[in-house]
């Protein structure tokens, strides 16, 4: 079930973000993610529109956060929910709300890059992440015009 995140979800979202970041980015030192946790708590989450996908027992399986009405700053899913449609449901919620979406993804995060390509995101730029200096793609999706 997709729903808007509530303040009571903050700790669960932060722990999911941290676990998933460590798992999905083995090419980045763990310390980077631990040091970024406060920024996610104090800067990203309060400014983003966040949706969560919950299991039948209301446990958060994944979340997506959109800033500035177009930038996906986070899309993370519990490892045990990989491949079960959680990421697609969260992406669908964002696509339903916004006609254009942008995101930055590490080029080395092959699983995420493949997912975004399946979701019809296209590379609009190649850059380097300012926090890690690693190569990233800026990806863009836009709602197709109705025929």
Percent of the chain with pLDDT over 70: 99
* pLDDT exceeds cutoff 70 at 53: yes
- For the segment 33-62, the average pLDDT, to the nearest whole number, is 93
Question: pLDDT tens across 62-114, in order?
Answer: 999 999 999 999 999 999 999 999 999 999 999 999 999 999 999 999 999 99
Question: pLDDT tens across 15-30, in order?
Answer: 999 999 999 999 999 9
pLDDT (0 to 100) of residue 77: 95
Q: Which residues contact 125 (CB under 8 A, 6 or more apart)?
A: 137, 138
Q: Which residues contact 142 (CB under 8 A, 6 or more apart)?
A: 99, 100, 101
The per-residue pLDDT of the chain, averaged, comes to: 94
* pLDDT exceeds cutoff 70 at 146: no
pLDDT (0 to 100) of residue 110: 95
Helices (H), the chain: 10-24, 30-39, 45-47, 86-97, 110-118
pLDDT (0 to 100) of residue 144: 80
Chain CA centroid to CA 40, Å: 12
Q: Which residues contact 51 (CB under 8 A, 6 or more apart)?
A: 2, 3, 4, 5, 63, 64, 65, 90, 93, 94
- For the segment 135-140, the average pLDDT, to the nearest whole number, is 98
């Amino acid at each position: 079930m997709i729903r808007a995140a509530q303040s009571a979800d903050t700790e669960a979202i932060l722990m999911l973000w941290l676990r998933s970041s460590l798992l999905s980015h083995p090419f980045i030192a763990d310390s980077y993610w631990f040091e970024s946790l406060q920024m996610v708590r104090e800067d990203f989450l309060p400014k983003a529109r966040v949706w969560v996908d919950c299991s039948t027992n209301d446990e958060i399986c994944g979340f997506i956060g959109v800033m500035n009405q177009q930038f996906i700053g986070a899309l993370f899913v519990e490892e045990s929910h990989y491949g079960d449609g959680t990421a697609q449901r969260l992406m669908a919620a964002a696509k339903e709300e916004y006609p254009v979406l942008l995101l930055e993804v590490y080029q080395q995060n092959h699983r995420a890059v493949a997912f975004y390509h399946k979701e019809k995101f296209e590379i609009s730029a190649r850059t380097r992440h300012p926090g890690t200096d690693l190569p990233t793609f800026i990806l863009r999706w836009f709602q197709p015009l109705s025929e």
